[in-house]
Structure 1
Amino acid sequence: MLQSMRDNLKGTAAIIVAAFFGFIMVIGGIDFFSGASGGSADEVAEVNGVKISNLDLQRAIQNRRNMIMNQYGENVPQDLLSDEKLRGPVLQQLISSSVMRQAAKDSGMVMSAAEVDREIVQIPGFQVNEKFDPQMYRDALRRMGYSPASFREVMERDLVLQQYADGVTESAFTTRADAEQLVAISMEERDFDYAVLPVADLLEQVSVSDDEVETYYGEHQGDFQRPEQVAIEYIELKPELFASNIDVSEQDVRAQYEQEVANFAASERRHAAHILIEGDDEAKVAEVQQKLDAGEDFAELAKTYSDDVVSSEEGGDVGFTGGDVFPEAFENALASLEVGQVSGPVTTDAGTHFIKLLEVKGDEPPAFEERKMAITAQLQNAEAEREFVGALSRLADLAYNAETLAGPAEELGVPVESTPLFSREGGPGVAANDKVVAAAFAPEVMLDGNTSNVLDLSNDHSVVLRVTEHKPAGVYPLEEVREQIVDSIKRDKASAQLAERADSLQEQLQAGADFAELAESEGLTLETSDKTRRGGFGQRGEIIEQAFEMPAPASGSAVKTFATSGGDRVVLALRDARPGELSRQSPEQRRALMQQLASASGSAELAAVQEYLSSRADVEIAETDSQ
């Protein structure tokens, strides 16, 4: 269900509607439609006698593939998208989903029609200005291929599954002792002082010989491994490359505008409301007709009498139609009304309707000046799209066996782009795309010097490339890393000198020297850090990490020295360590912590329930050629 929503609900609405089902995706393993496809002889698994068809599996795989593509965009690693990679995990998720649904059914869980309707009208993707919009709802279902009844059926099944999961997760709890233990560790505070002996002050005083550099280089070959690299030139085709060179005459713009005006009347949309009386309840029909004849408010009558649960709360509002949304009899009656007028009883398969025309839109076309810029851009984009398609059809032939891409680029009127060297991990710009990397490192392109096939990076973005430089994997030449080696040796030598000084300071502190006086005599800055908690970045983070690795001092101070990643030396004196106390947290913090722990416990218990149900289920997985 979610995949068809993604295909048909565009833009923000699609994201919001998909997000509504996020919880069920977690508990049910992304499956919304297992069992909805009917009995298929081509089954891939059977769970307690309930079949999972190959169609179920393929739809779930495609759904997972789209989720991955949404996460990575054009740079999605291709190996993540293969059926071979996805089949196993997705099938296990379908099995887990089936087991959970069966458990919910066995528990007697049901969802009332009223509750399903309440959930539907609260889905943000069906709302406009935070209010349920019947027209958006009906249009969305039509695009997804659902009738209101079939959509409600799917919603009911998934909500029951969510109800079952909620019964597990929301019954979880945590104890105060658990919270106190967590706070004692996570909110522990430490008091310490430290002084940094900077390595930079000694670097200029340290000399490094050529022999030392060569020895270091020989002993650390593993640090200077160069991956295989290529540089490429490429032609990139996008419609926007052609749009800027396209001129559109005002005559063409005006002709397009006149066409819009001519078609405008056909796009007239009518805003309708109705009161639906299901079945053959002639007495109810007569009662509504009588109240309408007496001038009673249509919206209030809809709330009282209409059997259309979704629209009744909106005064019967069912949104706009261009003449093709509602049954023919309904549309014919609506077309005959004036704004504000109410029809007599109209019969369709759904029942008897009283129809009111609320408004008509589209009866006045916009002025030419209002549409001029938009039409100009529209014509430019259309022509650019045609030029893009034409260039794309010629690109492969022009680039085939070309010594360089300069000629094909000139023929097509586009530039030749290039990249610096990059590895199989990718590089900047277009080299970040997984398809480009795979093509560049293909032997026929990288080693044989051939031009790649045309790579379709998206519907309107294509690339063809050639390798212009290839560097095999190996060790970087000494001259390329000499500067790096010299700096590393200097830091090692300077840090070793600092270590002797730091050890001396440590001995003096352990003998009872005052840290502040000692730092001042050594020309160091003493830093004091009280009530410090875990975490931090850079050198400060390294120092805090070292402070929390030390045993808490029984009395006095505990002293240690260590080197930072940059080569500086640190002398640190830990004065005190205090475990965190739950009682020191505010009531809001305590409540939030207990809720977080209970939520984590609930998630763990739900996973345990899933594992238990799956272990007891009779699961048969069909053999396939790939297994």
Structure 2
Amino acid sequence: MLQSMRDNLKGTAAIIVAGFFGFIMVIGGIDFFTGASGGAADEVAEVNGEKITNLDLQRAIQNRRNMIMSQYGDNAPADLLTDERLRGPVLQQLVNSSVLRQAAQDSGMVMSAATVDRETVQIPAFQVNGKFNPQMFRDSLRRMGYSPASFRQVMERDLVLQQYADSVSGTAFATRANAEQIVEISMEERDFDYVVLPVAGMLDGIEVGDSEVQEYYEQHQAQFQRPEQVAIEYIELKPEVFAENIDVSPSDVRAQYEQEAKGFLASERRRAAHILLEDADDARIAEIQAKIEAGEDFAGLAKEYSDDFGSSEEGGDLGFTDGDVFPEAFEDALAKLEVGQVSGPVTTDAGTHFIKLLEVEGAEPPTFEEREAAITAQLRNAEAEREFVAALGRLADLAYNAETLAGPAEELGVPLQQVPLFGREGGPGIAANDKVVAAAFAPEVMLDGNTSDVLNLTEDHSVVLRVTEHKPAGTYPLQEVREQIVDLLKRDKASAQLAKTAGEIGEQLRSGKPFAEVAEERELALETSDKTRRGGVGQRGEIIEQAFAMPAPAGGNEVVKTFGTNTGDQVVLQLRDVRAGDLSRQSPEQRSALLQQLASMTGSAELAAVQSYLAEQADIELVEASD
């Protein structure tokens, strides 16, 4: 079977397969490929008898949407966020994940409860200042529609999936022959000399007649097409627009602090460490308990005995909990300990624990001075949010049928802003947002002069706009493009004159005259480029591209080429030597990095092939979406 799967890697498809799928490591950023059922039980697919429900699909769609919005911000393309656009590819990802996860289960892969707990507390989205925060954990799960128990199931399944994927991609390797072939091409070096004959110094002496300009304009109409354009004015509402003008009363700050202080003790958190024995017998438990009672260092014992490899190197440190992060028996035992005290054996589904209370945080509230700035900002933002909501409620009525948005902007106390002419591809600032572009070019706004509906770009960012100028698509008039045409014609004439000179220089070089001597006679700067590799930008990039397109010199004779650049300059280039890349000339570190990169690429390709093979063998049934 493995050979059959590897056969799928032949050809160009095996070169690079990257970004095959993501794992659930950041809430709201990376897709959940859960396969967990429950809630909205309508079936959207079935993979080898395992159902993928509509709830699974909707969660995955929302997380893909969150990922796109985090990448693009306010400028997220609206058409990429619709359920219709996301449903197909996201459902396919769920199916892909399902067949891999089933393969992992069939192979006997499991994930311990301790590993799930360890990975959970290390998720950045659940942390504040680098530490696990139970409140952040609960809030995030609530937004996602998960309970702690259902989330634990999701984590366990996807960690098993990741383990299976790693077992495939992590076994890939690249041979030295593979690396040598790539290095021969990618690190090829060429030695060449060249001169540039610039057009810039000749332009002032070139004459272009009106008839030439008119003829060029008539023969190249396609170059001077003007897209349909609009200019807009708009009102933008965001909480921060109002926050700038809000003064917070010191008495309100003090009152909020006192309210926080009263409830502060309820937020007490405990930091735990443990020694986990997954399959311990009574003798081993007794051995460790005896060492603890004898006063041996708990962190050292954790490193020596604990089966929780994630925390053992940290002395068993698991971070903070406010009472509902760890299993109930674990939390009950921890709550009874004093700082520095170690429990007796505690049994959970993960195994047997010895638990130590490292510290208690939150026993004393912070001082007013420590909290003053944060509370002030909190109250200011809360008031700004209220003003934002109130203004948003009035915006549609104020802007409706307004001949200009100046009045509504003044009444709401926000600035009226403008964007100059832009096309359907978007423009600067707010005009880069697809929703704004779509509204500006809507017929009722662009042609009828109506104000747009209120556009909710994000949860706390809204815009209303009017078109102030509309230019239909057409051809730019000659007077607007005349200077552009004159410059083009001057460059063409100057370049044609220089091409003759470049040809003469090329003939001199081919006849054996030294390049340095030719350049000196013509007062040109001779540029030498040794050990040159592919790549480059601007004119230098054009020259290198031409150098690498030339045949290698044969019999000790240099190869000469003349060509024009995009700006009209002429170049005479003499290629002296070509050397294939040599892996042996790379440092050990470079060779190692290259082999690792090639192995990673091969691993990604093999993982994609395994998934494709499993999908071909699987019984997959997709349920058509109902209208």
What range describes the TM-score normalised by the shorter chain of this pair? 0.7 to 0.9
Aligned to 1:77: 77
Cα pair distance change 1:375/1:490, threshold 3 Å: same
Query: C-alpha root-mean-square deviation of aligned residues, in Å?
Result: 4.3
Aligned to 1:581: 582
Aligned to 1:428: 428
Is 2:399 aligned against 1:393? no
Cα pair distance change 1:511/1:276, threshold 3 Å: closer
Cα pair distance change 1:265/1:154, threshold 3 Å: closer
Offset at residue 204 of structure 1 (A): 0.6
Offset at residue 376 of structure 1 (A): 2.9
In 2, Cα distance between equivalents of 1:215 and 1:236: 47
Offset at residue 454 of structure 1 (A): 1.2
In 2, Cα distance between equivalents of 1:558 and 1:32: 58
Offset at residue 169 of structure 1 (A): 2.7
Contact in 1 for aligned 2:278/2:351 (Cα 8 Å): yes
Cα pair distance change 1:117/1:433, threshold 3 Å: closer
Contact in 2 for aligned 1:124/1:130 (Cα 8 Å): no
Amino acid at match of 1:181: Q
Aligned to 2:623: 622
Is 2:589 aligned against 1:592? no
* Structure-to-structure mapping, 1:154-173, within 5 angstroms: 154-173=154-173
Offset at residue 126 of structure 1 (A): 9.1
Aligned to 1:49: 49
Amino acid at match of 1:199: V
In 2, Cα distance between equivalents of 1:607 and 1:468: 52
Aligned to 1:140: 137
**Deviation string, structure 1 residues 248-284 (Cα, Å, up to 9, x no partner):** 33333333333333334444555567899999x9999
Contact in 1 for aligned 2:33/2:158 (Cα 8 Å): no
**Deviation string, structure 1 residues 408-439 (Cα, Å, up to 9, x no partner):** 11111111111111111111111111211111
Offset at residue 57 of structure 1 (A): 2.5
In 1, Cα distance between equivalents of 2:129 and 2:287: 34
Amino acid at match of 1:468: T
Aligned to 1:384: 384
* Structure-to-structure mapping, 1:97-112, within 5 angstroms: 97-106=97-106, 108-111=107-110
Is 2:504 aligned against 1:504? yes
- 3-state SS of paired residue (1:444): helix
Offset at residue 207 of structure 1 (A): 0.8
Offset at residue 60 of structure 1 (A): 2.3
**Deviation string, structure 1 residues 15-34 (Cα, Å, up to 9, x no partner):** xxxx9x94689xxxx77544
In 2, Cα distance between equivalents of 1:274 and 1:517: 80
TM normalised by structure 1 equals: 0.82
- 3-state SS of paired residue (1:419): strand
Cα pair distance change 1:298/1:184, threshold 3 Å: closer
Contact in 2 for aligned 1:440/1:467 (Cα 8 Å): yes
Contact in 2 for aligned 1:225/1:475 (Cα 8 Å): yes
* Structure-to-structure mapping, 1:160-559, within 5 angstroms: 160-269=160-269, 359-555=359-555, 556-559=557-560
Cα pair distance change 1:103/1:295, threshold 3 Å: closer
TM normalised by structure 2 equals: 0.82
Offset at residue 218 of structure 1 (A): 1.0
Aligned to 2:8: none
Offset at residue 623 of structure 1 (A): 3.0
- 3-state SS of paired residue (1:402): coil
Offset at residue 512 of structure 1 (A): 2.3
Cα pair distance change 1:385/1:564, threshold 3 Å: same
Contact in 1 for aligned 2:230/2:421 (Cα 8 Å): yes
Cα pair distance change 1:248/1:116, threshold 3 Å: closer
In 2, Cα distance between equivalents of 1:358 and 1:98: 41
Contact in 2 for aligned 1:399/1:408 (Cα 8 Å): yes
Offset at residue 505 of structure 1 (A): 1.5
Q: Which segment drifts farther, 337-346 or 615-624?
A: 337-346
In 2, Cα distance between equivalents of 1:303 and 1:519: 73
Cα pair distance change 1:70/1:286, threshold 3 Å: same
Offset at residue 90 of structure 1 (A): 2.2
Offset at residue 539 of structure 1 (A): 0.8
Contact in 2 for aligned 1:409/1:416 (Cα 8 Å): yes
- 3-state SS of paired residue (1:204): helix
Amino acid at match of 1:516: A
Amino acid at match of 2:459: N
Offset at residue 185 of structure 1 (A): 1.5
In 2, Cα distance between equivalents of 1:246 and 1:408: 20
How much identity, in percent, do the aligned residues show?
72
Amino acid at match of 2:602: S
Contact in 2 for aligned 1:126/1:136 (Cα 8 Å): no
Offset at residue 368 of structure 1 (A): 3.5
Cα pair distance change 1:176/1:296, threshold 3 Å: closer
Aligned to 2:603: 602
In 2, Cα distance between equivalents of 1:517 and 1:224: 45
In 1, Cα distance between equivalents of 2:585 and 2:347: 70
Q: Which runs of 5+ in 1 are unaligned?
A: 1-18
Contact in 2 for aligned 1:536/1:544 (Cα 8 Å): yes
Offset at residue 496 of structure 1 (A): 0.7
Q: Which segment drifts farther, 464-473 or 580-589?
A: 580-589
Contact in 2 for aligned 1:333/1:346 (Cα 8 Å): yes
**Deviation string, structure 1 residues 133-168 (Cα, Å, up to 9, x no partner):** 7x6479737853777776555444334433433343
- 3-state SS of paired residue (1:172): coil
Aligned to 1:35: 35
Contact in 2 for aligned 1:57/1:90 (Cα 8 Å): yes
**Deviation string, structure 1 residues 334-376 (Cα, Å, up to 9, x no partner):** 8787666789999999999998765544444444444333333
Offset at residue 529 of structure 1 (A): 1.5
Q: Which segment drifts farther, 585-594 or 525-534?
A: 585-594
Cα pair distance change 1:536/1:614, threshold 3 Å: same
Offset at residue 459 of structure 1 (A): 2.2
Offset at residue 541 of structure 1 (A): 0.9
Aligned to 1:567: 568
Cα pair distance change 1:101/1:376, threshold 3 Å: closer
- 3-state SS of paired residue (2:615): helix
Cα pair distance change 1:300/1:24, threshold 3 Å: closer
In 1, Cα distance between equivalents of 2:378 and 2:626: 50
Q: Which segment drifts farther, 515-524 or 439-448?
A: 515-524
* Structure-to-structure mapping, 1:116-135, within 5 angstroms: 116=115, 120=119, 123=122, 125=124
In 2, Cα distance between equivalents of 1:421 and 1:126: 41
Aligned to 1:93: 93
Q: Which segment drifts farther, 458-467 or 259-268?
A: 259-268
**Deviation string, structure 1 residues 470-509 (Cα, Å, up to 9, x no partner):** 1111111211111111111100010011111111222222
Contact in 1 for aligned 2:273/2:357 (Cα 8 Å): yes
In 1, Cα distance between equivalents of 2:529 and 2:308: 67
Contact in 2 for aligned 1:126/1:137 (Cα 8 Å): no
Cα pair distance change 1:275/1:220, threshold 3 Å: closer
Cα pair distance change 1:39/1:587, threshold 3 Å: same
Contact in 1 for aligned 2:232/2:467 (Cα 8 Å): yes
Q: Which runs of 5+ in 2 are unaligned?
A: 1-18
In 1, Cα distance between equivalents of 2:123 and 2:355: 27
Offset at residue 125 of structure 1 (A): 3.6
Q: Which segment drifts farther, 604-613 or 559-568?
A: 604-613
In 1, Cα distance between equivalents of 2:242 and 2:554: 76
Offset at residue 520 of structure 1 (A): 1.3
Q: Which segment drifts farther, 547-556 or 482-491?
A: 547-556
- 3-state SS of paired residue (1:597): helix
Amino acid at match of 1:571: V
Aligned to 1:15: none
In 1, Cα distance between equivalents of 2:428 and 2:88: 34
In 1, Cα distance between equivalents of 2:374 and 2:357: 32
In 1, Cα distance between equivalents of 2:108 and 2:559: 61
